[in-house]
Amino acid sequence: MESTRRRKKSWAEPFKIKVVEPLRITTRKYREQCMKEADYNTFLLKSEDVYLDLLTDSGTSAMSDNQWAGMMMGDESYAGSKNFYNLVDAIGRYYGYKYVVPTHQGRGAEHILSQIMIKPGDVVPGNMYFTTTRLHQQLAGGTFVDVIIDEAHDPTNKSPFKGNLDLAKLQYWIDKAGAAKIPYISFEGNVNMAGGQPVSMDNFRRVYGLCRQYGIKVMLDATRLVENCYFIKTREPGYRERSIAEILREVCSYSDGATMSAKKDSLVNIGGWLAVNDKELFEKARHMVVIYEGLHTYGGLAGRDMEAMARGIAESVQYDYIRSRVGQVEYLGNLLIKENIPIVRPVGGHAVFLDARSFLPHLPQDQFPAQALTAQLYEESGVRAMERGIVSAGRNPETGEHNRPKLELVRLTIPRRVYTQAHMDVTAETVCEVWQRRSSIKGLRMVYEPEYLRFFQARFEKIG
């Protein structure tokens, strides 16, 4: 339900702080040493050495008192926990799906979905890849093909719905591969790798319409779908008066199911799910979850985790909350725009993405400019960001070559309900300091490369 009071221009947080967690400020010399020991990969830093942790918005949210109270109501029975039923109810009410399989997090759901739906030789079109999603599709024998609109690859393009799927590209793959070879469309809301860019309701509707003609299923990645709904409400004609909850239900009505990393939108530290409307598919997923995650009524989670998730879902669609969440990200983005720092436009829903190609034009992509920039930000003031460029993109499994994404980005990801406006100011100051001395920044060389999802554990050294 939305509050009816007159709306102020400010997006001030609709909550106050009850518990605080101290932050540690360190010296530059210490941080340089830490970054060197972490081999210039911010995933390998110890969090106690980080001042502002903008590595990810995944599992880093602050839970509400209501969620913490729910944790005390955990029913830790092995089978049939009441929290599972509360979760199923919440997903049914807010997302509208019939059948739910809980998983420990999003990739657990992606694994099950890929294994039960993809056959070797299949093609899975989607609106830009996500690292774990694509890998599970590949491990199941499928090939992911990117059918996002071209605008998504241009950080300066200000279109309001840069997450949209290009129907002509989709038609091309349907004609080329044949509908029988396309088990489903992998359709992500508020596309992470494109910079947190939304899909319009019109696009959700059209993609579903096209897929129905061919009997192809549409599976959403609902990880940041609530944030997507906020953009539909504020940017798409006809939705201003609709509640976030109503918009969410409509979006999901144009799909056959979804995978979810509840660690984002749903304001919990762990959890995920796979939901479908098809009974047969559900039975397959239920068989699979017991092998890899746990019984079908807990899927790798404690009862208390499912309760926190059920309550978090209800909180996530509150308009005042989602407005302040996206408003805070926009606030940081606007500070950087004012300083002419190149960022992905429009500002995304969960993060501000620095355009490392424009930031460090003297570094070729083979010297990992975005990775180098994350190291500089950390050394400057202890702000931890994440690379979303050539390192994240990995290699083509057939040719073994680096995938070379057009977007070479650094993600300043904002955890939900965690940091204040002053923290955003400090972050902007940090980026400005590094911007001032950008021409002296050196590239990196990769000295250790894991086979899968290399960005998590790759090691680098400074060139020169």
Q: Catalytic residues, which ones? A: 78, 130-131, 221, 264, 388, 455
Three-class DSSP category at 108: helix
Distance of alpha carbon 321 from alpha carbon 22, whole angstroms: 24
CB of 191 to ligand F0G, least distance (A): 8
Q: Is 263 among the residues that bind ligand F0G (CB under 6 A)?
A: yes
**Closer Cβ to ligand F0G, 122 or 221, answer by number:** 221
Of 186, 182, 180, which is closest to residue 165 (Cα–Cα)?
186
Q: How far apart are CA 322 and CA 13, in angstroms?
A: 9
Ranked by CB distance to ligand F0G, the top (closest) residue is 106
Please pick, from the candidates 41, 42, 58, 316, the single residue that binds ligand F0G as defined by CB under 6 A: 58
Least distance (Å) from ligand F0G to the CB of residue 165? 15
Smaller CB separation from ligand F0G, 388 or 423: 388
State the helix-helix crossing angle for 244-253 and 82-94, rounded to 10 degrees.
90
The secondary structure of residue 140, as a DSSP letter, is T
Residue whose CB is less far from ligand F0G, 190 or 430:
190
Least distance in Å: CB of 238 to ligand F0G?
26
Binding residues for ligand F0G, how many (CB under 6 A)? 15
Q: Which two tokens stand for residue 53?
A: 């942790």
Comparing CB distances to ligand F0G, the nearer of 233 and 263 is 263
Would you tell me how many other CB atoms lie within 10 Å of the CB of residue 160? 15
Mapped onto helix, strand or coil, the DSSP state of residue 272 is strand
Choice between 149 and 174, CB closer to ligand F0G: 149
Distance in Å, CB of 176 to ligand F0G, minimum:
26
Contacts of 203-209 with CB under 8 Å at 24 or more apart are: 203/161, 203/164, 203/165, 204/251, 204/254, 204/255, 205/254, 206/167, 207/165, 207/167, 207/170, 207/254, 208/254, 208/255
Q: Can the peptide bond before residue 346 be classed as cis, meaning omega within 30 degrees of 0?
A: yes
Smallest gap from Cβ 240 to ligand F0G, in A, equals 27
Between residue 105 and residue 134, which ones bind ligand F0G under the rule CB under 6 A? 105-107, 130, 132-133
Q: Which is nearer to ligand F0G, 107 or 454 (CB)?
A: 107
Per-residue tokens: 344 = 């992905």
State which residue, 74 or 195, has the beta carbon closest to ligand F0G: 195
- Tell me which residues in 181-220 interact with ligand F0G (CB under 6 A): 188, 192
Which residues are CB-neighbours of 371 under 8 A, at least 6 positions away? 40, 41, 387, 389, 391, 444, 460
Residues 79-108 touching ligand F0G, rule: CB under 6 A, are 105-107
Shortest distance in whole angstroms from residue 279 CB to ligand F0G: 25
Which alpha helices (DSSP H) does 346-395 contain, by range? 356-359, 369-381, 390-393
| Dihedral (CA of 428, 389, 225, 341) sign | positive
Q: Minimal distance in Å, beta carbon 339 to ligand F0G?
A: 26
Burial 3-24 (b: 16+ CB within 10 A, else e): eeeeeeeebebeeeeeeeeeee
Scanning residues 216 to 255, which ones bind ligand F0G (CB under 6 A)? Answer: 221, 223
The H or E element containing residue 360 is none
For residue 305, the surrounding DSSP H or E stretch is: helix 303-316
Residue number with CB closer to ligand F0G (131 or 324): 131
Q: Compute the least distance from the CB of residue 206 to ligand F0G, in Å.
A: 21
Paired tokens of 394: 């990995």
Find out whether 60 and 48 touch, Cβ atoms under 8 Å.
no
- Calpha distance 309→315 (Å, rounded): 10
Residues in contact with ligand F0G by the rule CB under 6 A: 56, 58, 105-107, 130, 132-133, 188, 192, 221, 223, 261, 263, 272
